[in-house]
């Protein structure tokens, strides 16, 4: 498998070693490991159900791995599992339970990123207002700062949640399928925001997606998850037929078409494949057809 680039340990924001997860008798993930360094833009790619969300939850401490270790900034997460990324790791979840009548404006949601975990009512202060304004500017959400968060579109809500995560100045930002239900323009907008954050503020980004094409231009490294295992490396190293065929356990073709990436399952016995046993009939596993 394409390995990790050599570098000092102290540089690593996140390090996974030999992570395995078993749920309800099914093995979801086996022997997954990779590292993330400051400012890196990493895509966590794979078909739906491959285990991307599970992997993110393991990193965040919301899910206990059956085996393996997670270390954040060199400190391994203990058995107790209680998520102590502290403010180092920001998280933008996939599903938000925002009902239309939730009494939160955009600026309220972002302000919760500062101290939403504390008791009591916050004292309004200029410092807080400045922090909120700054975060809103960073994601381009100033326009609707006073709108009810339940009334926003999907793309707008994503920006708000990114601002919410940003405001505690994380070194690593994890996003779970933020582009899933967005149209192309909104998706491109989100990716542009994230790319700028990675570039200008040296915030590492780990973003999961089942369609990698909006990210291909921006991704430096890729963790490709399929059939319970992961291939890790730069996009050139990983997005190759041999690599992914070994991962899937049957032959797949990686096609580069007009700057997009298509991954197509071939029939049994194709060249360069591993076992001839194909688990799926001819089908497009991942495509850029958005």
Partner 1 sequence: MGHFLTYVFEPGLLASGPVRVAALVGGIVAITSGVVGVFTVTRGQSFAGHSLADVAATGGSGAFLVGLNQFWGFLAFGIGGAAFLEMIGVQRRRGRDVATGVLLGAALGVAALFLYLGSVTTSTTGASFTVLFGSMFVISTSTVPALIASGLIALAIVITLSRVLLLSSLSPDIAAIRGVPVRAVGAAYLIALAVSVSLSAMVIGAVLSTALLIGPAATALRVAKGPVRAMATAAVTGVIATWLGIILAYDSYYWPPHGRGWPVSFFVVGFVAVFYLLSYLRVPGRSRERACSPAS
Partner 2 sequence: MFTGLMMNTWIAATIVAVIAGVVGFFAVLRGSTFAAHAIPNGAFTGAAGASLLGINTIVGLVVFSVAGALGIGAAGRRARHDVATALALVMMLGLGALFVSVSTEYAQETYSLLFGEVFGVSAAEVLPIACLGAVSIAAIIVLFRPLLLSSAMPEVAEARGVRARRMEISFLLIMALATSMTVPVVGALLMFSLMIGPAAAARSFTSRPGLAMTLSVAFGLVTVWTGIVVSYETNWPLGFFVGVMGAAFYLFGRAWAAVRRTRAVRADLAAPVGAAA
79 binds partner 2 (CB under 8 A): no
Give the phi and the psi of residue 122 in degrees, each rounded to 5: -70, 145
Q: Quick one: which of 20, 33, 140, 189 contacts partner 2 (CB under 8 A)?
A: 20
Positions in 222-261 near partner 2 (CB under 8 A)? 227-228
Contact characters 152-181, partner 1, x per CB under 8 A: xxxxxx------x----------------x
Residue 74 near residue 14 (C-beta atoms within 8 A): no
Q: Which residue has the tokens 């609707």?
A: 144
Alpha carbon of residue 12 to chain centroid: 17
How far is the CA of 187 from the CAs of 73, 177, 191, in angstroms?
30, 11, 6
Taking residue 277's Cβ as centre, other Cβ atoms within 10 Å add up to 10
103 binds partner 2 (CB under 8 A): no
Q: Quick one: which of 25, 103, 120, 124 contacts partner 2 (CB under 8 A)?
A: 25
Contact characters 229-268, partner 1, x per CB under 8 A: ----------------------------------------
Residue 261 near residue 254 (C-beta atoms within 8 A): yes
Closer to partner 2 at the Cβ: 23 or 290?
A: 23
Partner interacting with residue 235 (select from partner 1, partner 2, none; CB below 5-8 Å by kind): none
Q: Which range touches partner 2 (CB under 8 A), out of 21-29, 131-139, 208-216, 250-258?
A: 21-29
257 vs 130: CA distance, rounded Å: 45
Beta strand 229-234 with 221-226 is antiparallel
Q: Which range touches partner 2 (CB under 8 A), out of 22-30, 86-94, 141-149, 261-269?
A: 22-30
Sign of CA dihedral 222, 89, 188, 157: positive
Closer to partner 2 at the Cβ: 31 or 108?
A: 31
CA dihedral 180, 183, 188, 189 (to 10 degrees): -100
283 vs 271: CA distance, rounded Å: 17
Contact characters 142-181, partner 2, x per CB under 8 A: ----------------------------------------
DSSP secondary structure of 190-247: HHHHHHHHHHHH--EEEEEES--GGGTTT-SEEEEEETTEEEEEEHHHHSSHHHHHHH
Per CB under 8 A, residues contacting partner 1 are 57, 60-62, 82-85, 89, 91, 93, 96-99, 101-105, 108-109, 112, 115-122, 144, 146-148, 151-157, 164, 181-183, 185-186
Q: Which residues bind partner 2 (CB under 8 A)?
A: 20, 22-27, 30-31, 66-67, 99, 101, 227-228
């Amino acid at each position: 498998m394409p390995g990790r680039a050599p570098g000092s340990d102290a540089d690593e924001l996140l390090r996974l070693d030999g992570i395995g997860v078993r749920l309800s008798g099914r093995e979801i993930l086996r022997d997954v490991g990779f590292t993330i360094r400051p400012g890196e833009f990493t895509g966590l790619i794979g078909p739906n159900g491959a285990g991307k969300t599970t992997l993110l939850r393991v990193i965040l401490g919301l899910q206990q791995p059956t085996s393996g270790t997670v270390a954040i900034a060199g400190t391994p997460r203990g058995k107790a599992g209680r998520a102590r990324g502290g403010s180092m790791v920001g998280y933008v979840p996939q599903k938000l339970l925002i009902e239309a009548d939730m009494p939160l404006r955009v600026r309220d949601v972002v302000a919760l990123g500062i101290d939403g975990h504390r008791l009591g009512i916050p004292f309004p202060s200029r410092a807080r207002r400045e922090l909120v304004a700054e975060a809103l500017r960073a994601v381009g959400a100033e326009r609707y700062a006073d709108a009810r968060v339940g009334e926003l579109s999907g793309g707008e809500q994503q920006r708000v949640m990114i601002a919410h995560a940003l405001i505690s100045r994380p070194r690593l930002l994890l996003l779970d399928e933020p582009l899933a239900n967005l149209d192309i323009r909104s998706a491109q907008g989100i990716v542009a925001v994230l790319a700028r954050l990675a570039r200008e503020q040296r915030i590492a980004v780990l973003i999961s997606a089942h369609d990698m094409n909006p990210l291909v231009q921006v991704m430096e490294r890729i963790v490709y998850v399929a059939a319970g295992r992961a291939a890790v490396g730069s996009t050139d190293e990983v997005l190759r037929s041999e690599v992914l065929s070994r991962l899937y356990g049957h032959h797949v073709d990686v096609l580069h078409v007009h700057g997009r990436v298509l991954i197509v399952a071939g029939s049994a016995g194709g060249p360069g494949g591993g076992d001839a046993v194909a688990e799926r009939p001819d089908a497009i596993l991942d495509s850029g057809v958005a």
